[in-house]
Amino acid sequence: MITYQAYRFALDPSPRAERALASHVGARRFAFNWGVALVKERLEARRRGEDVEVPWALPALRREWNQAKETVAPWWRENSKEAYSSGLAGLADALKNWVDSRRGQRRGRRVGFPRFKKKGRCRESVCFTTGAIRVDGKSHVVLPRIGRVRTHEPTTALLERIAAGEARILRVTVSREGGRWFVSFTCEVEREQKVPRLPGAVIGVDAGLQHLAVFSTGERVPNPQPLRKALRKLACLNRELSRRKPGSRNREETRRKLARLHSRVARIRRDAMHKLTYRLACAYGTVVVETLNAAGMLRNRRLARTVADAAMAELRRHLGYKCAWYGSRLVEAERFHPSSKTCSRCGAVKPEFPLWERVFRCDACGFVLDRDENAARNLAALVAAVAGSGPETLNARGRDVRPAARRAVPEEAGSRLRESA
């Protein structure tokens, strides 16, 4: 099975290598800003009635850059040409997203015209697709024009696959997050087909706020809530930053502390989600989740911070590729499937069930259960209800799919999986 996979390693660059990395990131930002200024200038000329070409696509932007680079950036040879191409490629993608959004061809929120990038206020990264790119030993990587850079952690996972002919490097991205440098290798990997430990088991997973996830077996995965735990320290650092003199060394040091804290919060959240999804994909043959409207939930001002801290949309995204890697099957219930309002014993559906009610009480049979566990059981029973109707309904996203009006027996809900696991 051929898949695309990224291997990410933390770098430990020397002062010389760190200056080279920062120079390449700055070169990418310079090319992006130069392209934005050029496109704006050409658009203004068109509005004045002049017949000029506006470079929208990457090939046109590259031609304009090659003609102007000796004038606008006589120092361009100090960095790899890939740094400038990376900035122009980012601009081409931004312009395409802007045009597609205006035409209604792009989903999501309206995308504005590309803006200039400011140092320290944008994502610092640069991509390489050609040149000297390789993993050099167990603790070093080689990058174009930058040379050999040491890594904080061993690169054995990728090195062994490359040596065995199971991986091929397609692209390298170097980025700086929270004062630390990272390198990410996007590879074409040949993975062997795996089988989960319980191929016939079905488990429903309900993403929540108090708990990261609640399983149909009754198990609750605790939510680390890294942002909530760091709010006090974040407030102190933000207050300290506001009192520092702009341009001073103390202000820069406080800014770095704040960036490192935000990076740590993101890493804790990412680690918890990776561990949860890896466990689900490796253990169960079928995993059932809901298609949540996370963007709509973020509009709720009272819940926005908690929803963002739980990273609810990441659960489905991680399971999307990990289930394919480890041989399990991901089933996504339709967005408006009433899993929380439906009784997992008799199938009765409540007309209203406000979010503040954390215990489900069935008005028909008197069944009482935790709200999230009841929803997870309904998700697990949904697969059992539609699995025999044909392959076209296995994803449980059709408009004719309805929850089964019967009790979800323990085998279907997965309550016996804890004994066999």
**pLDDT 10s digits, 317-364:** 999 999 999 999 999 988 888 888 889 888 888 888 887 888 889 888
Name the residue among 166, 179, 172, 160 with its Cα closest to residue 22: 179
Measure the CA–CA gap between 99 and 94, rounded to whole angstroms.
Answer: 9
Residue from 64, 82, 206, 314 carrying the catalytic annotation? 206
Among the candidates 91, 124, 157, a domain finishes at 124
- Identify whether 232 is part of a domain: no
Phi first, then psi: give them for residue 112, nearest 5 degrees.
-90, 175
168 and 105 in one domain?
A: no
- Identify whether 271 is part of a domain: no
**pTM: predicted TM-score of the whole model, two decimal places:** 0.82
> Tell me, what amino acid is at 153?
E
151 and 119 in one domain?
A: no
Residue 206 annotated among the catalytic residues of the structure? yes
Q: What are the DSSP calls for 82-151, one per residue?
A: HHHHHHHHHHHHHHHHHHHHHTT-S-SSPP-------TTSS-EEEEE-SSS-EE-SSSEEEETTTEEEEB
Residue 372 annotated among the catalytic residues of the structure? yes
Measure the CA–CA gap between 309 and 295, rounded to whole angstroms.
Answer: 13
- Identify whether 245 is part of a domain: no
- Identify whether 293 is part of a domain: yes
159 and 23 in one domain?
A: no
412 and 316 in one domain?
A: yes
Q: What domain range is 37 assigned to?
A: 17-124
316 and 414 in one domain?
A: yes
Name the residue among 318, 338, 314 with its Cα closest to residue 328: 318
358 and 211 in one domain?
A: yes
Residue from 82, 309, 372, 412 carrying the catalytic annotation? 372
393 and 335 in one domain?
A: yes
Burial 99-124 (b: 16+ CB within 10 A, else e): eebeeeeeeeeebeebeebeeeeeeb
Residues 206-228 pLDDT 10s: 988 888 999 999 899 999 999 99
Please state, for a pLDDT cut of 90, what percent of the chain lies above it: 64
Report how many domains make up the chain: 3
Name the residue among 200, 205, 183, 160 with its Cα closest to residue 315: 205
pLDDT value of residue 385: 57
- Identify whether 230 is part of a domain: no
- Identify whether 270 is part of a domain: no
219 and 335 in one domain?
A: yes
Among the candidates 124, 141, 165, a domain finishes at 124
- Identify whether 208 is part of a domain: yes
Residues 237-292 pLDDT 10s: 999 999 999 989 999 999 999 999 999 999 999 999 999 999 999 999 999 998 88
Please state, for a pLDDT cut of 70, what percent of the chain lies above it: 91
392 and 314 in one domain?
A: yes
Residue 290 annotated among the catalytic residues of the structure? yes
Residue from 64, 82, 290, 332 carrying the catalytic annotation? 290
116 and 37 in one domain?
A: yes
149 and 120 in one domain?
A: no
51 and 175 in one domain?
A: no
